[in-house]
Structure 1
């Protein structure tokens, strides 16, 4: 069990890329982020054919759903709250991890590459949009106009840690809506997409074993989160994916989740204990922020400043030789890509099993 006494929490090296008082810390530290917000993001993402092909090829969400959820959530939390050095290291190793997810599209012509800028932009925007949407629907409500502008500027800043260009990130809600409208004709609820979406909506898969006496409560919580996540998805998307839920449930789940999240957020230690059940490795990332543990250096950097300081390349330009070798194995030799990136990632993103 994680130690949650303030004096025992390991501080971050610095404030990372956002820091106290930022709208990022405000939105991402609310319990809607690692629950409904994150679940919505990973479910919606599967409608993108190249992305779901990569997910299907690696089989991580099926073979190790708990550790996959844990590692992915830890990375997103690191971007929001982690120290600049460790975030740069995580972003760098993630390029090597994604280099394994390449191949031919199983449905349709063409190839896929998890490092492709278009796929990375889709992940970035579905993630940040979903976390904000969940915060507004089940949390304190809508941001002010100034806060929302800051939020999307921060999203663009965080995109510098992906292989996509921050210039492609919309800076307004209307711009984000326009992006999703442009993407809509390209989305597809293929058999593997439907399989992945329904699998990722099964919250029980990412929870630890529960004592027999507590299973009814655990099942009820998991069911409530599933209902709440589906309620955030537009009707056209649900119909495309074959996901059904009544409008009545959409309405009834709102007050239940608003009260539940508000109560959980009252006590930081309770909130962190609940997070520990969902994503143990994410607790050490968020605990310093929620418990008010200052970093060793009270500074906020930009990703460019951090890369220059610590010697990392831009993600789009990182590990090009290794990525070329991976492509040669898969497309040239018809073999399997190396797991080297996954193995190396355990040091910073957590164990694979």
Structure 2
């Protein structure tokens, strides 16, 4: 309790969530590479999937409210890794409602898209977890041990239970993850809307808060460095597909700069939280109890199944089927705009839609 009194502005989580202290998830996701370069890489790479980018383009959220969209998405990423199980189950449940409005016709090929489709959700899951690990390895302490890596991909499968995809489809090895991306490669496409989204999401300056005139040069340097660092993690074939240019010299030069910067930031939990607050204010309350070593109300780690039973939530794949069917009928059958129900409900959990 002394720590809670000393850091009275920080609320403890209800429990340790799905992973907890000592886990490889907390080790990797708790390093400053994860919620910066790792997260940015994930959302950029995701856009190469035609159904996903069609959903993103339809909602226009990344263009109309880039800061709040980035903030809310990063908060959810962090919640899965660090928040208490009740809070995460609630967020996962409302996210199904949010995604229910992202349905429609594919703009550049036959067929439809649905943000709750298990294949799209698996793509998001593996792109996210792979990007977080890749950034940690490139700009952080380096590769995990064999045992840690096995634990990491098992944890990825655990987290997949919070999506509409099946944890059985999550590879459990580095080789399996590589094989998944190779299978996906023929399906990926840098359509005009994909290129637009990828280049937009690489503009870190769009998600930074307003900066005083005297501080703008430093802010632009930070944004430019993160863009360079993120592009440097993209394979050449992906850059060529998306029309993203960056020299091999920049790829090499940015590594020691970012490694030193992240190592320095990691020396001070309070500095990490201040920097995170610049990118994503609503994520700070999720991460702060872990960074400041504030124990939860219950000293326990649950499985997703245990958490659903305790807190009364269905599996995301089985949640809100009536709403999802109504949304599909409105959009695909009647040609009307989808309901905003889930998006409005999500504000209490994921943060406001405007700032």
Quote the offset at 1:6 in angstroms.
2.4
> How many residues of Structure 1 are paired with residues of Structure 2 in the alignment?
351
In structure 2, the residue matched to 1:61 is 62
Quote the offset at 1:9 in angstroms.
1.2
In structure 2, the residue matched to 1:298 is 299
CA distance in 1, matches of 2:136, 2:21: 18
CA distance in 1, matches of 2:256, 2:297: 40
Residues 325, 211 of structure 1: CA spacing in aligned structure 2 closer, same or farther, 3 A cutoff? Answer: same
CA distance in 2, matches of 1:7, 1:347: 22
For the pair 1:145 / 2:153, whether they are aligned, the reply is no
In structure 2, the residue matched to 1:347 is 348
The residue correspondences of 1:21-32 to structure 2 (distance < 5 A) are 21-32=22-33
For the pair 1:33 / 2:43, whether they are aligned, the reply is no
CA distance in 2, matches of 1:8, 1:109: 52
CA distance in 1, matches of 2:15, 2:183: 38
In structure 1, the residue matched to 2:83 is 82
Which digits, 9 at most, give the CA deviation of each residue in 1:181-217, with x for residues without a partner?
0000000000000000000000000000010000000
Q: Secondary structure at the match of 1:161?
A: coil
Contact 1:104 1:112 in 2 (8 A): yes
CA distance in 2, matches of 1:65, 1:5: 35
CA distance in 1, matches of 2:20, 2:219: 34
In structure 1, the residue matched to 2:121 is 120
The 4+ residue runs of structure 1 with deviation greater than 6 A are none
In structure 2, the residue matched to 1:182 is 183
Quote the offset at 1:331 in angstroms.
1.0
CA distance in 2, matches of 1:144, 1:169: 20
In structure 1, the residue matched to 2:9 is 8
Q: Secondary structure at the match of 1:112?
A: strand
Contact 1:4 1:287 in 2 (8 A): no
Q: CA RMSD in A?
A: 1.0
CA distance in 1, matches of 2:169, 2:222: 37
Quote the offset at 1:8 in angstroms.
2.8
TM-score relative to the length of structure 1 = 0.99
Quote the offset at 1:129 in angstroms.
0.2
In structure 2, the residue matched to 1:282 is 283
The residue correspondences of 1:149-168 to structure 2 (distance < 5 A) are 149-168=150-169
CA distance in 2, matches of 1:272, 1:60: 26
Which digits, 9 at most, give the CA deviation of each residue in 1:58-116, with x for residues without a partner?
00000000000000000010000000001000000000000000000011110000000
CA distance in 2, matches of 1:138, 1:243: 21
Quote the offset at 1:28 in angstroms.
0.3
CA distance in 2, matches of 1:30, 1:299: 23
TM-score relative to the length of structure 2 = 0.98
Quote the offset at 1:18 in angstroms.
0.2
Contact 1:39 1:201 in 2 (8 A): yes
Contact 1:19 1:25 in 2 (8 A): yes
In structure 2, the residue matched to 1:228 is 229
CA distance in 1, matches of 2:170, 2:36: 24
Quote the offset at 1:5 in angstroms.
5.7
CA distance in 1, matches of 2:312, 2:7: 32
Quote the offset at 1:4 in angstroms.
11
Q: Where does the alignment leave 5 or more consecutive residues of structure 2 unmatched? A: none
Which digits, 9 at most, give the CA deviation of each residue in 1:287-326, with x for residues without a partner?
0000000000000000010001111110000000011110
CA distance in 2, matches of 1:76, 1:225: 19
CA distance in 1, matches of 2:112, 2:262: 41
Quote the offset at 1:7 in angstroms.
3.4
Q: Where does the alignment leave 5 or more consecutive residues of structure 1 unmatched? A: none
Q: Secondary structure at the match of 2:337?
A: coil
Q: Secondary structure at the match of 2:8?
A: helix
In structure 1, the residue matched to 2:316 is 315
Quote the offset at 1:284 in angstroms.
0.2
Which digits, 9 at most, give the CA deviation of each residue in 1:203-251, with x for residues without a partner?
0000000100000000000000000000000000000000000000000
Residues 348, 274 of structure 1: CA spacing in aligned structure 2 closer, same or farther, 3 A cutoff? Answer: same
